[in-house]
A and B are shown apart, each in its own frame.
Chain A
Amino acid sequence: MRLFGAVVVQLLHVALMFAAAPLLIGLIRTAKARLLGRRGPPPWQPYRDLLRLFAKRPVIADSATPLFRAAPWVALAATAAAIALVPSFAGGMLFGRAADLLVIAGLLGLARVAQALAALDAGTAFGGLGASREMAFAAFAEPALLLSVLIFAMLVGTTNLDAIAAVFRDVPPGLRVSLGLVAIAVLAVAVAENARIPVDNPATHLELTMVHEAGLLEYSGPDLALWDFQAALKLLLWLSLIGALFVPFGMAPAGSTPLAWIGGLIAWAAKVGVLALGLAAFEVSIAKMRVFRVTEFLGAALLLALLAAVFLFVSTGLA
């Protein structure tokens, strides 16, 4: 019976993620527009964009290899596999025992490498620009992420996401300094990984300021729709991850009733909504950084994670 519940939760979760990802992007765009004093597009505009792109036939460069067409499949598959592991409204999903934080980071790395290779496949200067900068930013985001995982592994004893969420839900850790610093570090890494301001501008039209977008310049039609959907899934994954790690209250525990699932769904929607509006307000209020200042931004995140680790060693070593 519990297994059946786990299967149902997993399927519902995946369907929810796939359905909600474009809505998240639309919500952030509309919020940014309203904050800037414009009316902006309606929140369901990304759905219309995806349908429009699917109706077109792609145009591909002469020198492109089969990797060019395969890359969006690989990236979307990796992101979808990762998002199937991150719990949203209920814990104890079917794949919960395989939901390791390091595996999720590895799957996101697979998506990133697929995009970088596709960018280089086109043989244009912008592709190389996007690929080299994207991999360079990732080189500085990964250490901060690993140290954050170290903090959680020390607090809970495992890197499994399901177990961490369950433990934090049942035994609240209180206002720890380490968790506060780690929260800031993970937020900085999330901004860098999802190509949001101040690291990259998702709405720019100037090619030399693009990082993520520069890799997708050669794509059109359904392939571009796959890339856009992948970016939306990735953002939803990070926001769900932050919600599950730092504010797991409201998530329905494993083996609970559908009524608890509804409660979990409301809690999850509230968390992701607040984070999305916060992201929109943050993006509107600061400017995009110069490329070589991003190192300092991510270095600061690494520093905070390192400090958090030191404080955690101190406090767990004392008692």
Chain B
Amino acid sequence: MNEHLGFGVLDYDIAHLLGGAILVLSFALLAQRRLAAVINLFAVQSAILAAAAAWQGHVHSDAELFLTAAITFAAKAVIVPLALQRIVRRFNIHRSVETAVGIGVSMIVAVGLVALSVLVVLPIGMQAATEALTREDLALALSVVLLGLLMMISRRNAISQVVGFMSLENGMILAAVGVAGMPLVVELAVAVLVLVIFLVFGVFLFQIRERFDSLDTSRLDAARGEGR
């Protein structure tokens, strides 16, 4: 086992550390009880994602990745959290996060999802060592995506569902950043997607709030026309 100790190639180690931090923050997002904490953690996660993109740009000497990092930081670490905080203040949504599934149970399911993504990604081919490390990054990114989805389905509050969707996107960007040579156009498309979704969700939130006087999406079920 000792030969693995000389494994400490700094480039990959820092990339893995940043990826691991993003995954830990996804877990932390699932464990929060207050909306303000959820939004702040999402901002930190996006900042670390920007740092990961910048590091990959430094390692592969790719200027586009630096631009990606800047856009991620500006859009998802600064603008979106500020906007969400404003929504929370404006509608006086100073509530705790309502969960459909208990926090302990969602933690256990989250661990299972991480194990699942590791088991799925790893056996895919066995090439040179550098590709092996990229596979480890992919496993991390897939875990973040799955945890974002879990957050979306296990929360009742629309804002935490939005944050879950955005952390899912963080996972996808992490996967794209890990693979060498991602074109910028994808990042622009993703950024546009973010803004569009945000606008849609924003309008959606306004409408829900006006109609039902709360942002609890379970109340939408009654309006679907099916009996409860």
Q: Which residues of A contact B (CB under 8 A)?
A: 154-157, 167, 171-177, 180-181, 296, 299-300, 303-304, 306-307, 310-311, 313-319
Contact = CB atoms under 8 A, between A and B. Distances in A.
A28 to B, nearest CB: 28
Contact of B4 (A181, A311, A315): A315
B14 A175 contact: yes
B31 A175 contact: no
Nearest to B139: A314
Given A314-B136, A318-B133, 11 more contacts: A156-B1, A173-B5, A174-B13, A177-B19, A180-B17, A303-B107, A310-B115, A311-B136, A318-B122, A319-B4, A319-B129
Nearest to A295: B104
Highest count of chain A CB atoms <10 Å: which of B3, B20, B122: B20
Chain A interface mostly? helix
Interface of B: 1-10, 13-14, 16-17, 19-20, 23-24, 27, 31, 103-104, 107, 111, 114-115, 118, 122, 129, 132-133, 135-136, 139
A171 B5 contact: yes
18 contacts: A157-B2, A171-B6, A173-B8, A175-B10, A176-B7, A177-B13, A177-B16, A177-B19, A180-B20, A181-B20, A299-B107, A303-B27, A307-B27, A310-B115, A314-B122, A315-B7, A318-B135, A319-B3
B13 to A, nearest CB: 4
B17 A177 contact: yes
B189 to A, nearest CB: 30
Contact of B1 (A157, A177, A299, A313): A157
Given A175-B17, A181-B20, A316 B104 contact: no
A174 B5 CA distance: 8
Contact of A155 (B1, B103, B118): B1
B122 A315 contact: no
Contacts of B9: 174
Contact of B7 (A303, A311, A317, A319): A319
Contacts of A317: 122
Cβ-closest 6 pairs across A and B: A174-B8, A177-B20, A318-B132, A175-B13, A171-B5, A177-B16
A299 B115 contact: no
